[in-house]
Structure 1
Amino acid sequence: MDLTVAAFLAIALSLIVFILLGVWLVAPRLRVVGRAEALTALLWIHAFRHIALQAYSAQAVGSSVSAGLRDKIVYGDVLGMVLAVGAIAALRYRAPLSVALVWLFVAETIVDFSNAMMGGISEKLFAEAQGLTWLILTFYVPLLCVSLGMIIWQLVTRHREPW
Structure 2
Amino acid sequence: MSPQTLFLTHLVFGYVACLLCFSVYVLPRLRSMERVEAQRVIATVHSFRFFGLVFILPGVVGPNLPAGFANFAAYGDFAAGVLALLALLTVRVRPLFWFFVVAFNLVGTVDILIDYYHAVRLGLPVVAGQLGAAYAIPILYVPLLMITHVVALYWLVRPHPRAASVLIGDAAAS
Structure 2 equivalent of residue 4 of structure 1: 4
Aligned residues: 160
Structure 1 equivalent of residue 79 of structure 2: 79
Checking the alignment, whether the CA contact within 8 Å between 2:109 and 2:146 is kept in structure 1 is: no
Structure 2 equivalent of residue 116 of structure 1: 115
Give the CA RMSD over aligned residues: 2.1
Checking the alignment, whether the CA contact within 8 Å between 1:38 and 1:154 is kept in structure 2 is: no
Structure 2 equivalent of residue 89 of structure 1: 89
Checking the alignment, whether the CA contact within 8 Å between 1:58 and 1:133 is kept in structure 2 is: no
Note the residue ranges of structure 1 that are not aligned, 5 or more in a row.
none
Residues 17-60 of structure 1: CA deviation (Å, up to 9, x unaligned): 11112211212111221111101111111111112211223577
Superposition TM-score, scaled by structure 2 size: 0.81
Letter in 1 for 2:84: A
> Matches of 1:101 and 1:87 in 2, distance apart?
5
Cα shift at 1:154 = 2.5
Letter in 2 for 1:78: F
Letter in 1 for 2:77: D
Structure 2 equivalent of residue 50 of structure 1: 50
Structure 1 equivalent of residue 36 of structure 2: 36
Cα shift at 1:6 = 1.1
Structure with more relative contact order (C-alpha pairs < 8 Å, separation 6 or more): 1
Structure 1 equivalent of residue 16 of structure 2: 16
Superposition TM-score, scaled by structure 1 size: 0.86
Checking the alignment, whether the CA contact within 8 Å between 2:47 and 2:82 is kept in structure 1 is: yes
Cα shift at 1:90 = 2.1
Paired-residue identity, %? 25
> Matches of 1:124 and 1:42 in 2, distance apart?
31
Letter in 2 for 1:150: V
Letter in 1 for 2:139: T
Q: Which has the larger radius of gyration?
A: 2
> Matches of 1:132 and 1:45 in 2, distance apart?
20
Checking the alignment, whether the CA contact within 8 Å between 2:87 and 2:96 is kept in structure 1 is: no
Note the residue ranges of structure 2 that are not aligned, 5 or more in a row.
164-174
Judged with a 3 Å threshold, the aligned counterparts in structure 2 of structure 1 residues 61 and 13 are, in CA distance, closer, same or farther, namely closer
> Matches of 1:161 and 1:35 in 2, distance apart?
10
> Matches of 1:128 and 1:103 in 2, distance apart?
34
> Matches of 1:159 and 1:114 in 2, distance apart?
27
Letter in 2 for 1:5: T
Cα shift at 1:73 = 1.5
Letter in 1 for 2:80: G
